[in-house]
Amino acid sequence: MKIQCLTNGIFDTNCFIVSQGKECIIIDAPAPADSIIKALELNHLSPTWVYLTHGHFDHVLALRALKDKYPDLKIAISASERNYLEEGGERCRLQLSSFGTSLLRYFNDSDFNFPPIDRYLSDGDELEFGFKAMSTGGHTEGSMCFIHEKERVIFSGDTLFKLSIGRTDLDGSQEEIMKSLEKIKNLEGDYTILPGHDNKTSLSYERKNNPYLR
């Protein structure tokens, strides 16, 4: 299993391409899609699924262009996040505008026209390549982490960062994210943590140094 990280878009969001042979899954889809498509084509990869850690605009605005390029590509997200991707993406558009309406110029109107969701994820769901979904609400209600126990890796989205955690003032809950962090902290053994922003870390390092996991 190979993992490639692309840091993409105006919010420096991490997109992960996880491949086995010529097939791959994509974890989070930050715009612009061109960067993701270029990486897929360069490595002759065929994406089968996009697994979304949550529905915030900086993780989803490449979905339409990816689906147009790869019509068989399927999309999975927690059911609690579905309203980010419905009603013409209005919730994502409004949230992006709250950071400044000038940011809308970086995106096309079609980016907010999201494709249908193919699967709604629940805690413990088994996914392609041996991944499991783990519900880690708090940053958003339906935030998810994707865990590969054999490879000892966690894609933590915006729940857990190196020495920090995700913000909870955008549709989140401090109480819920603390419960989710405890859930991650109590996983047995060590894992590489691949977050939605910034650099990778390890669970052992975070247990020791992250004030939110002590």
55-95 pLDDT per residue, tens: 999 999 999 999 999 999 999 999 999 999 998 899 999 99
Q: How far apart are the first and last CA of the chain?
A: 32
The secondary structure element, H or E, covering residue 165 is strand 164-165
Q: Is the pLDDT of residue 45 over 90?
A: yes
Tell me how far apart the alpha carbons of residues 151 and 1 are, in angstroms, rounded to a whole number. Answer: 8
Phi and psi at residue 2, in whole multiples of 5°? -110, 145
DSSP type of residue 36: H
158-211 pLDDT per residue, tens: 999 999 999 999 889 999 999 999 999 999 999 999 999 999 999 999 999 999
pLDDT for residue 78:
98
What is the domain partition of the chain in residue ranges?
2-209
Place of tokens 């922003």: 197
Tell me how far apart the alpha carbons of residues 214 and 116 are, in angstroms, rounded to a whole number. Answer: 40
CA distances for 22 relative to 12, 18, 73, 77, 180, angstroms: 27, 10, 14, 23, 34
pLDDT for residue 81:
97
Q: Report whether 147 contacts 191 (CB < 8 A).
A: yes
Contacts of 100 (CB under 8 A, 6+ apart): none
The alpha carbon of residue 77 and the mean position of all alpha carbons in its chain are separated, in whole angstroms, by 9
Backbone dihedral region of 138: left (phi > 0), alpha (psi from -120 to 50 degrees) or beta?
Answer: left
Q: Is the pLDDT of residue 128 over 90?
A: yes
Global pTM value: 0.97
Tell me how far apart the alpha carbons of residues 137 and 175 are, in angstroms, rounded to a whole number. Answer: 9
Per DSSP bridges, beta strands 46-51 and 23-27 are parallel
pLDDT for residue 214:
86
DSSP type of residue 140: S
Fold of 2-209: Metallo-beta-lactamase; Chain A (3.60.15)
pLDDT for residue 167:
96
Q: Is the pLDDT of residue 125 over 90?
A: yes
Q: Report the mean per-residue pLDDT for the chain.
A: 97
Phi and psi at residue 85, in whole multiples of 5°? -105, 10
Nearest to 92 by CA among 115, 74, 114: 114
